[in-house]
A and B are shown apart, each in its own frame.
Chain A
């Protein structure tokens, strides 16, 4: 029992309510948001440390014993996700504060951002499936607002589709929960894991497992359910896009990993092989989509899809090393992807467009931005010494050890194509003659929007140089995920 576990949810909730009361006072809202984000980061780090030394931390909400009440539990995986979420929150906040395009909708921007964090953090700490559904709804509701705030025609149009698709996905999620409840009579993940183990081999269990795969596949943009992502992320306001690209799809992936390492682990020959096949197709089609695009934001959006494939690939191989690769990759991806979307936001500020046909030669006027993009892009493609190289290396090695040669080949090809499309952005957008109208950003504002990008890049380099240390953490996390008995025991207490 450790009440610390509730704080990652309560802190943004309290901050959000406070910010609502400070309606219209932007300066105060900024300051409080920043402090809250810093607090959340410290809290998440401390919590992860506690989990590292003392094992899984559990709270039974309201003191109701495990299978009946709502359980909140934090293991190393959740802890890491909490840390990453608050890092991205911080980076997004610093960026948004300088983004004058958002001037008119500032009114509710900061409070809703906090509510978004409530949803994201709750989905990482909850140990209850219905509670996970509620967390998804909270974060989706906030994301609907953030995506459409400003009311540009494109935003409204894509926002409508995003909302309908996510609403249908949530309905399916609820229906799946109903199925699971009908079969096992429980919603607690740990308890469900036990009950499902007793039912192993029943066809209905496989049906439920696949329903969960579809639901989380939709949220996490897996093949063939990724079609909604590129367009809606394309229209999101710049800073917001970084938060979405970094965190939102990864919440779906987190839930997928959680469910398929805890509950549905008794038929890996079917479920995890299916996941592996889907991972391969997601990687390949995502990167092909990226290659066909000529717009920085569209290319980056398609790369999210292709990289979600990498993460899920580790889950599909399902060995400790592969899961460690997944953990490493998720951490790497969240950081690098958010940085790239922030850079895209800066490009929009300078050139007014992200269409590669309409601007070029940015390197001459903004060498810092160009080199930062190059470094981040190379990290995404998996070039040492950045984090991308080591995370891909771990996944490759796990694939080779498990003898899944097909997926190894696919991921090598996809890596190459990723490098190709990053170089395409760099050579078309940053090299060559300067064309297009440039609107130079004031020096101070430039420094402020670059700061979060550089922070994220530093983290990526740090994760690359300290890959050994981080791998130790990733392996411990994977170890925990591979032995769900510990989680079940921590929650149910017997």
Chain B
């Protein structure tokens, strides 16, 4: 399970980084999201990957999963949702104004 999660995180990070480095605006947005997913998995793994137990601690329960990472992931997902939504709108407006979705044309070295 640990190995599988580690590989999964690695793949997400690698794919995210690859997309982030491409010149297309949409790919950059997608890469950003993939990186965030990888991080969420990483948060989950940081609490230890216990199986078959609820994140509840009451009298008499010996085995439980760590509830903190789950709370953190929930927050992180919401934040990422907001940021991605804003990013998409911004990308759309930018493409509209500049009539190009190729970041090589959006370097902006000489000014408008």
Contacts and interface: CB of A to CB of B under 8 A. Distances in A.
B90 A178 contact: no
A181 interface: yes
B5 to A, nearest CB: 12
A234 B97 CA distance: 19
B86 A171 contact: no
Interface in B45-94: 45-48, 68-69, 72, 75-76, 79, 82-83, 86-87, 90-91, 93-94
Interface stretch (A35-43, A162-170, A249-257): A162-170
B90 A163 contact: yes
A157 B98 contact: yes
A137 interface: yes
Contacts of B45: 178, 182
Interface of B, secondary structure class, is helix
29 contacts: A141-B83, A144-B90, A148-B90, A152-B112, A153-B94, A154-B111, A156-B90, A156-B94, A157-B94, A157-B97, A159-B90, A159-B94, A160-B90, A160-B94, A163-B83, A163-B86, A164-B87, A168-B32, A170-B79, A170-B83, A175-B38, A178-B42, A178-B43, A179-B42, A181-B46, A181-B68, A182-B45, A182-B46, A187-B68
A174 B35 CA distance: 11
Interface string A309-322: 00000000000000
Contacts of A167: 32, 36, 83, 87
A75 interface: no
Interface residues of B, number: 34
Contacts, number: 95
B108 to A, nearest CB: 5
A160 B20 CA distance: 13
Contacts of A154: 108, 111-112
A141 B97 contact: no
A466 interface: no
For chain A, which range describes its interface: under 10, 10 to 19, 20 to 34, or 35 or more residues?
A: 20 to 34
Interface of B: 20, 25, 28, 32, 35-36, 38-39, 42-43, 45-48, 68-69, 72, 75-76, 79, 82-83, 86-87, 90-91, 93-94, 97-98, 106, 108, 111-112
Contacts of B25: 160
A137 B79 contact: yes
B32 A164 contact: yes
Nearest to B83: A167
B36 A141 contact: no
A177 to B, nearest CB: 8
Given A157-B98, A168-B32, 11 more contacts: A140-B83, A144-B90, A153-B98, A153-B112, A156-B90, A158-B108, A163-B87, A171-B32, A174-B39, A178-B42, A181-B68
A178 B98 CA distance: 39
Contact of A174 (B76, B90, B93, B94): B76
B47 A181 contact: yes
A140 B32 CA distance: 16
A164 B87 CA distance: 8
A101 to B, nearest CB: 16
Contacts of B108: 154, 157-158, 231
A110 interface: no
Contacts of A434: none
Contacts of B46: 178-179, 181-182
A171 B35 contact: yes
A164 B20 contact: yes
Interface string A133-156: 010010011001100100111101
